[in-house]
Amino acid sequence: MTRARKTTRRPDRIAIHRARVNIDLGLPPAYLNIMAIREIITVPDPRLKEESRPVEGGVTDEIRALMDDMLETMYAAPGIGLAAIQVGVPLRVIVMDLSGEDEDPQPRYFVNPEILETVEDTAPYEEGCLSVPDIFDEVERPVRCKIRYLDYDGQQIEEWAEGLYAVCIQHEMDHLSGTLFIDYLSRLKRQRAVDKVRKAQRQKSRSQAA
Ligand SMILES: [Zn+2]
């Protein structure tokens, strides 16, 4: 997911994140540049319609490496949430960071997340998506939801999400079942959004080829 009003992430955010991971691994930063920015797929890529499958066997180093890459990809975009399918991996994995511009990074990791409960109250929020770049529109969702997931260390967490956290986790969970935020819009608006993205992508690849 992206913030409605385009903000520019401080470029040192990736550096801070890298330094932290290096510290966590107990290795000197100079030896490590293990994370990689992956390509984010965009509409109308059919993979975005796929149902993602659960991670089996818990949160392994392989899954953590995927989440590190996803987070770096998300920071670089920049975005505030990213599901694994958006980098072409059909697994139930999400990363997120809702911290403000002037705050330290607060990465969140979700493996096999589930929504256990939602409240009846709903509110509109202007959403954007890294797989539907530069399109923003209002989506109405429950204002609070109870979620369960495994974190970076494989610990099971159960908690209530509200505010932007609730919006973002529901947006990202939708990706796991092949639903995009534009699927909530009218057919006309949705088609316009896909056409616009497709055209922008064509122009981008043409200018890269030139
Ligand atoms: Zn999205």
Place 160 in a pLDDT band, splitting at 50, 70 and 90. very high
pLDDT tens digits along 102-126: 899 999 999 999 999 999 999 999 9
Q: Is the pLDDT of residue 26 over 80?
A: no
pLDDT tens digits along 27-82: 555 444 567 899 999 999 999 999 999 999 999 999 999 999 999 999 999 999 99
Q: Which domains does the chain have, with CATH numbers?
A: 12-209 (3.90.45.10)
Residue 113 alpha carbon to ligand 1 centre in Å: 16
Residue 107 neighbours by CB under 8 Å, 6+ apart: 17, 71, 95, 96, 97
User: Phi/psi at 60 (nearest 5 deg)?
Assistant: -90, 175
- Which strands make up the sheet holding 93-96, listed edge to edge? 81-83, 93-96, 108-118, 144-150, 156-162
Q: Is the peptide bond before 28 cis (omega within 30 degrees of 0)?
A: no
User: What is d(CA 192, CA 209) in angstroms, rounded to the nearest whole number?
Assistant: 26
Residue 50 alpha carbon to ligand 1 centre in Å: 14
Check the CA dihedral 98-74-46-176 and report its sign.
negative
Q: Is the pLDDT of residue 130 over 80?
A: yes
Residue 129 alpha carbon to ligand 1 centre in Å: 4
User: What is d(CA 70, CA 86) in angstroms, rounded to the nearest whole number?
Assistant: 9
Residue 160 alpha carbon to ligand 1 centre in Å: 21
Q: Is the pLDDT of residue 178 over 90?
A: yes
Name the token pair of 162.
């509200």
pLDDT of 19 reads 66
pLDDT of 21 reads 64
- Total number of residues shown for the chain: 210
Count of Cβ atoms closer than 10 Å to residue 54 Cβ: 11
Catalytic positions are 172
pLDDT of 8 reads 52
